[in-house]
Amino acid sequence: MVFVLLCGSLLISSCVKQSRGFALPEGDIEQGKATYKRLVCYECHSIPNIEWKGGNDNLKIHLGGEVTAPKTYGELVTSVINPSHKIASFYNQKTSTEGGLSKMKNYNEIMTVQELIDLVTFLQSEYQVVSPPTSYTPYY
Ligand code: HEC
pLDDT tens for each residue of 70-111:
899 899 999 999 988 875 445 566 777 877 788 889 999 999
Residues 95-106: tens digit of each pLDDT:
778 777 888 899
Burial 18-50 (b: 16+ CB within 10 A, else e): eeeeeebeebeeebbbebbeebebbbbbbbeeb
3-state secondary structure of 109: coil
Q: What is the pLDDT of residue 117?
A: 97
- The pTM of this model reads 0.81
Locate all alpha helices (DSSP H) within 1-140, ordered by sequence.
2-20, 29-38, 73-81, 113-125
Domain ranges, ordered by start, for the chain:
24-129
Q: What is the pLDDT of residue 22?
A: 83
Closest C-alpha to 60, from 81, 77, 78, 42: 42
Which atom belonging to ligand 1 lies closest to the Cα atom of 83?
A: 17
Residues in contact with ligand 1 (CB, 6 Å cut-off) = 36, 39, 41, 43-45, 55, 59, 61, 63, 76, 79-80, 83, 86-87, 95, 102-105, 107, 119, 123
What is the architecture, at CATH level 2, of domain 24-129? Orthogonal Bundle (1.10)
